[in-house]
Amino acid sequence: MIRTLIITTAIALAGCTRYEPIVDLRASKENAQLFQRDLNECRQLVDPAKSFWTMGDEFWVQEMINNCLSGRGHSVL
């Protein structure tokens, strides 16, 4: 029983990596100082849409975060 719980927990935690977009902060100019704040806000905006739009596909989550950051003036690579 405990063995199954440990294996299940390990598998669940393996998928908990958080997407970190690559952003050229020099190209973002004045907006570079706001990057962390904007990234956190974009993640919060994408969170409610995750379950409906992504259907378990992380590509769409990354795309929505990239679009949100681009709209705020950041140069996402």
Residue 15 lies in a domain: no
What value does the mean pLDDT take over residues 20-26?
84
Entry pTM: 0.69
Q: Is residue 6 in some structural domain? A: no
Number of domains in the chain: 1
In a domain, 47, yes or no: yes
Residue 1 in domain: no
Instruction: Give residue 55's pLDDT.
Output: 64
Q: In sequence order, what DSSP letters do the residues of 1-65 get, joined into one string?
A: -HHHHHHHHHHHHHT-PPP---EETTTTGGGGGGHHHHHHHHHHHHHHHIIIIITT-HHHHHHHH
Q: Which domain holds residue 27?
A: 21-76
